[in-house]
Amino acid sequence: MLKEVFRQQMPAVAITDHGYMYGAYDFHKQATAAGVKPIIGCEAYVAPESRPLKQRVRR
Pairwise CA distance, residues 10 & 28, whole Å? 15
Contacts 24+ apart (CB under 8 A), 26-35: 30/2, 31/2, 31/5, 34/2, 34/5, 34/6, 35/6
Domain membership flag for residue 8: yes
pLDDT at position 59: 66
Full-model pTM: 0.68
45 touches 54 (CB < 8 A): no
Domain membership flag for residue 50: no
Q: Is the pLDDT confidence value at 48 over 80? A: no
Q: Is the pLDDT confidence value at 46 over 90? A: no
Pairwise CA distance, residues 55 & 17, whole Å? 25
Domain membership flag for residue 21: yes
Number of folded domains that form the chain: 1
- Band the pLDDT of 1: cuts 50, 70, 90: confident
